[in-house]
Amino acid sequence: MSHSEERRTSKTGDQFATRLIHFGAEVDQATGASSVPLYQASTFHHASIDAPPQYDYTRSGNPTRQALEDYIAGLEGGVRGFAFASGMAAISTAFLLLSAGDHLICTEDVYGGTYRFLTVVASRLGIETTFVDMTDLDAVRAALKDNTKAVYMETPSNPTLKITDVAAVAAWAKECGLLTLLDNTFMTPYHQRPIEQGVDVVLHSATKFLGGHSDLLAGLAVAADENIAVRLKMLQNSLGSVLGVQDSWLLMRGMKTLQARMEHSERSARKLAAWLAERPDIARVYYPGLADHPGREIHERQSSGYGAVVSFDTGSGEAARRLMDKVRLPLVAVSLGAVESILSYPALMSHASMPQEVRHARGIGDGLLRFSVGLEDADDLIADLEQALAR
């Protein structure tokens, strides 16, 4: 069995593709239905006031959402999962595991929404953040303060696809008694399972690859141990930013095809990245699967694939705009991880909330584009980019 196959095998011996379909709630026990029922209810009857039912109010728990939460917990190898109204709802809730006066160490080229929450909202709550180049373990260690309580990782990072050595950072954090959190949106549990590397909380914008169809907003969190799970449950219930029943069902439907979609998109992404890397009119290509990617060796140790996101620098904002005007196949839009390819402009989209000088310091230049490769034919995508660049 290969390393990749071993990583995709559960403790019971079932392959990942099988567990995507057979996740424990795939058949309704009451009716035999081949889909999780939608419990479209806000409240639940108490047959006895002295014996409260498992579910009493949908903000606190709902059978449809519970099926999803158990589903992602099983895929990530955690003890409990939690579903939120968006990726940022999941991420911001997880940050509230910290308290006023606490300090956080965070990946410097993090998603713009995460950067905005930490610098605008968390800072007002008295939570301090130091952004570091997390490819440099010495820089991570140097950021430690007396009040440091957590480390937040994003690997591959968005949008420059830098790689953090998850096991090394998690091991150091445990020595220091720090909580570790990791955004696994780009890789999904199909390619990368951070809990196996020692991470405490795994986060997803499930809007992206897990949902996969550009038709829902959702966020997920998975706790590695019961103590953290209890704290996350309290926060989820207190804040109330839970995922609705319809979107919980829709997300489960999307997740069933995760492996098939990721495999197709990754094959195309590797082909597209190699083609871009050969073009003299492209200043730089960012993709962990390229031989010259500085983090490739570490990425291959902790992930079983390279993913479906390719970023590339056209050299200038003017060139990036010309390309976006000329492409015909991908959506020019925010977001990623869908069946259709999506071409994004981080400077004005995902990282618009990051000041220009901060973006540039993190390598997010005005000519940078992020291409999330969908399920179209790779040769068609390349031909479309070629005509756009030629024009």
Strand partners, 107: 132
Please state, for a pLDDT cut of 70, what percent of the chain lies above it.
Answer: 97
| Separation CA 171–CA 259 (nearest Å) | 29
Q: What is the CATH number of the domain that holds 264?
A: 3.90.1150.10
| Separation CA 177–CA 295 (nearest Å) | 27
| pTM (2 d.p.) | 0.94
Mean pLDDT for the stretch of residues 266-283: 97
pLDDT of residue 355: 80
pLDDT of residue 224: 98
Does residue 242 sit in the same domain as residue 384?
A: no
Higher model confidence: residue 359 or residue 374? 374
Range with lowest mean pLDDT among 30-34, 252-256, 291-295: 30-34
Element (H, E) at 223: strand 219-223
10 Å Cβ neighbour count for 349?
Answer: 16
pLDDT of residue 216: 97
Does residue 203 sit in the same domain as residue 352?
A: no
pLDDT of residue 361: 78
pLDDT of residue 11: 43
Does residue 283 sit in the same domain as residue 156?
A: no
What is the gyration radius of the CA atoms in the chain, in angstroms? 21
Q: How confident is the model at residue 353 (pLDDT cuts 50, 70, 90)?
A: confident
Query: Is the pLDDT at 391 greater than 80, yes or no?
Result: no
pLDDT of residue 214: 97
Does residue 221 sit in the same domain as residue 268?
A: no
Does residue 170 sit in the same domain as residue 39?
A: yes
Q: Residue 127: name the closest of 99, 150, 151, 165 by CA.
A: 99
pLDDT tens, residue by residue, 206-238 = 999 999 999 999 999 999 999 999 999 999 999
pLDDT of residue 357: 82
Residue where a domain terminates, one of 212, 237, 255: 255
Residue where a domain terminates, one of 207, 239, 255: 255
Does residue 166 sit in the same domain as residue 17?
A: yes
Does residue 200 sit in the same domain as residue 296?
A: no
Does residue 36 sit in the same domain as residue 141?
A: yes
Residue where a domain terminates, one of 213, 233, 255: 255
pLDDT of residue 71: 98
Does residue 292 sit in the same domain as residue 234?
A: no
Q: Residue 190: name the closest of 18, 47, 335 by CA.
A: 18
Q: How many domains does the chain have?
A: 2
Query: Is the pLDDT at 4 greater than 60, yes or no?
Result: no
> Which residues, at least 6 apart from 257, have a Cβ–Cβ distance to it below 8 Å?
20, 212
pLDDT of residue 74: 97
pLDDT of residue 347: 84
Does residue 81 sit in the same domain as residue 172?
A: yes
Q: Give the residue numbers spanning the domain of 382.
A: 258-390
Q: Residue 269: name the closest of 230, 211, 306, 308 by CA.
A: 308
Q: How confident is the model at residue 319 (pLDDT cuts 50, 70, 90)?
A: very high
pLDDT of residue 354: 78
Query: Is the pLDDT at 362 greater than 90, yes or no?
Result: no
Query: Is the pLDDT at 386 greater than 70, yes or no?
Result: yes
* Catalytic annotation, residues: 59, 111, 183, 208
Does residue 184 sit in the same domain as residue 265?
A: no
Token pair, residue 146, equals 């007396």
Average pLDDT, the chain: 94
pLDDT of residue 171: 98
| Separation CA 173–CA 169 (nearest Å) | 6
pLDDT tens, residue by residue, 121-130 = 999 999 999 9
Does residue 223 sit in the same domain as residue 353?
A: no
Q: Residue 83: name the closest of 238, 230, 212, 251 by CA.
A: 251
pLDDT tens, residue by residue, 241-274 = 999 999 999 999 999 999 999 999 999 999 999 9
Q: What is the CATH number of the domain that holds 86?
A: 3.40.640.10
pLDDT tens, residue by residue, 114-171 = 999 999 999 999 999 999 999 999 999 999 999 999 999 999 999 999 999 999 999 9
pLDDT of residue 205: 98
| Separation CA 220–CA 207 (nearest Å) | 10
Let me know: does 247 contact 216? Beta carbons within 8 Å: yes
